[in-house]
Amino acid sequence: MDNKAIAERLDSFATLLELAGANPYSARAYRRAAELIRTTQAPVADLIRAGRARELRGIGRGIEGRLKELVETGKIAELEELERQVSPDLVGLGLYLGIGARRAVQIGEALGIRTADELREAAAAGRLKEVPGIGPATESKLLAALAREDEPRPARGMLLHRARRLLAEIAEPLGAIPAGDPRRYKDSNDRLAVVAGADDPLPVLDAFESLPQIVTVLDRSERRAHGVTVEGVPVELVVVAGERLGTELVRATGSPEYVAALEPLPDAPDEQGVYRALGIPFCPPELREEPFRCEPPPLVELAQIRGDLHAHTTWSDGTATVEQMALAAIARGYEYLAICDHTPAVGAVRGLTPDDVRRQADEIAAANEQLAPFRVLRGIECDILPDGRLDLPDDVLAELEWVQASVHGGQRLKRSEQTKRVVEALRHPSVRCLSHPTGRLIGRRPENALDLERAFEVALEEGVAFEVNGLAPRLDLSGEHVREALKAGLQIVCSTDAHSILGLDNMVLSVATARRGWATADRVLNTRPLDEILR
């Protein structure tokens, strides 16, 4: 059993625990463990067999027991029991229809049903009122929702990394291509679709229905199906004859406005063919938001990135050492990596004191000696205190080669105060880049009340760059803000904010977000060699 398979089982366990209304902390602990195992390099199954699972940080005794059971027997008994109790397809359909998971489980128990089909039958037979707590009003609401069941409904804002992972898992066994919002790297994804080319659609549709990720299928026609995941997320499958694959791919990828402006689309086996037949230049998926028929600029590409300027290590809340992170950066073809651990004011996790910063310098120097000509930069992610001062003394900051300034606490300050505070930090002579400039957490926390236009102005005067943070819950700056920043004349930095080796792969998301903001390589600081970046 490889790490990916173990992580998937833990994720299912977490989902079912959540759905069964278990203690939210235990569900979260399993999710964290799944993420940890996904990002661990060594084969976790071996560690478990050797009784060393708890050396992985965040794996407690309870989870270790489940892991042992999984590796030794290939299953987790309680997970199978939960699957029996919770009936994932009933819960998936319920969530899709807007019924909470617990309610769906209650309905199932009260009616003695286990599947989505049985729910539909029971509803049609007028049995919903037998469920305690369901009166005529709720019944008619549910019946109405069931009647509209096959109308495509948005997925309600799935984060990009999860949406892309889900679509990849669904597309791969079908030989399909992931499309929909995630192909445009939207920060919050509502339309999830995959497109398959096949002359005979039947086997593809059948395979789609039997995927573990798809718990129930809402509707199915000759060449199309809508399935739902256990979390109630709808996924669309389009099967098309090979000679029209490009056409349907364009249709399933662009925003409705973008596609409508190109219709009627000519038939072609690939997207290039569609654009050729339309007589317009090819448009990268990231730009297919607003209607656009012109020649796009040469957008920055992942291969042009020469280094990552924001990564954490075990010195703060990362899971890998300086050397491990540097080796991983070398493996990604980079020339440099800035180690930017936290400072004490960050609060929730360990932050580096001036003394720590100097001790870390020795470790970085040793890594540099070993790994030359690769360069590990002495950096920091320094908190901006509420009054605009930085969280380390000026002389310590002056020693560093790359200083990121970050707002972590005090996100709710008034606009005037937040702006004043950030402007003051941007004026600091050591600061090179503002991290996650708006502080948003997608779907969870709005942008800080920061006057971005003013911040752009000051950053331009001071030669400070703005980060495009590649963590999926952040993607900050957003594509729209990247566009505004570039119009204001700023430089941006594509960074991962990696807290693990695999976290370095978030560069894909950062670069895609910059592309959504029409960024070309000359505007992205870390496409340059190091001697042009250091000052």
Binding site for Zn ion (CB under 5 A): 381, 406, 497
Q: Write down the residue that tokens 């950062």 correspond to.
A: 510
Pick the closer one to Zn ion by CB: 64 or 381.
Answer: 381
CA distances in angstroms from 426 to 445, 468, 489, 535, listed in the order given? 23, 16, 16, 16
Q: Is the dihedral of CA 269, 275, 276, 277 positive or negative?
A: positive
Pick the closer one to Zn ion by CB: 213 or 343.
Answer: 343
Pick the closer one to Zn ion by CB: 244 or 342.
Answer: 342
As a whole number of angstroms, the distance between CA 41 and CA 143 comes to 49
Task: Please report how close the Cβ of residue 320 comes to Zn ion at its closest, in angstroms.
Answer: 14
Which residue intervals of 391-527 are DSSP H helices?
A: 394-399, 415-427, 452-462, 479-487, 507-516
Pick the closer one to Zn ion by CB: 401 or 497.
Answer: 497
Q: Return the ∠ at Cα 174 (arms to 95 and 163), rounded to 5°.
A: 40
Pick the closer one to Zn ion by CB: 59 or 471.
Answer: 471
Task: Please report how close the Cβ of residue 94 comes to Zn ion at its closest, in angstroms.
Answer: 37
Task: Please report how close the Cβ of residue 352 comes to Zn ion at its closest, in angstroms.
Answer: 12
Query: For residues 476 and 437, is the Cβ–Cβ distance under 8 A?
Result: yes
Read off the tokens for 155: 């997925």
Task: Please report how close the Cβ of residue 459 comes to Zn ion at its closest, in angstroms.
Answer: 17
Pick the closer one to Zn ion by CB: 248 or 381.
Answer: 381
As a whole number of angstroms, the distance between CA 76 and CA 388 comes to 51
End-to-end CA distance of the chain: 49
Read off the tokens for 482: 């990247």
Pick the closer one to Zn ion by CB: 187 or 381.
Answer: 381
Q: In what order do the strands lie in the sheet with 431-434?
A: 307-311, 336-339, 375-383, 402-406, 431-434, 465-469, 492-495
- Residue length, the chain? 535
As a whole number of angstroms, the distance between CA 274 and CA 17 comes to 46
Pick the closer one to Zn ion by CB: 167 or 464.
Answer: 464
Pick the closer one to Zn ion by CB: 40 or 406.
Answer: 406
Residue 74 exposed, middle or buried by CB count within 10 Å (0-12, 13-18, 19+): exposed
Strand partners, 375: 336
- 3-class SS of residue 289: coil
Q: Write down the residue that tokens 């950030």 correspond to.
A: 422
Task: Please report how close the Cβ of residue 187 comes to Zn ion at its closest, in angstroms.
Answer: 17
Picking from 438, 465, 440, the residue whose alpha carbon sits closest to that of residue 452 is 438
Task: Please report how close the Cβ of residue 458 comes to Zn ion at its closest, in angstroms.
Answer: 20
Task: Please report how close the Cβ of residue 497 comes to Zn ion at its closest, in angstroms.
Answer: 4
Query: For residues 50 and 131, is the Cβ–Cβ distance under 8 A?
Result: no
Task: Please report how close the Cβ of residue 370 comes to Zn ion at its closest, in angstroms.
Answer: 25
Nearest position to Zn ion, beta carbon: 497
As a whole number of angstroms, the distance between CA 38 and CA 60 comes to 17
Task: Please report how close the Cβ of residue 411 comes to Zn ion at its closest, in angstroms.
Answer: 11
Task: Please report how close the Cβ of residue 388 comes to Zn ion at its closest, in angstroms.
Answer: 17
Pick the closer one to Zn ion by CB: 247 or 469.
Answer: 469
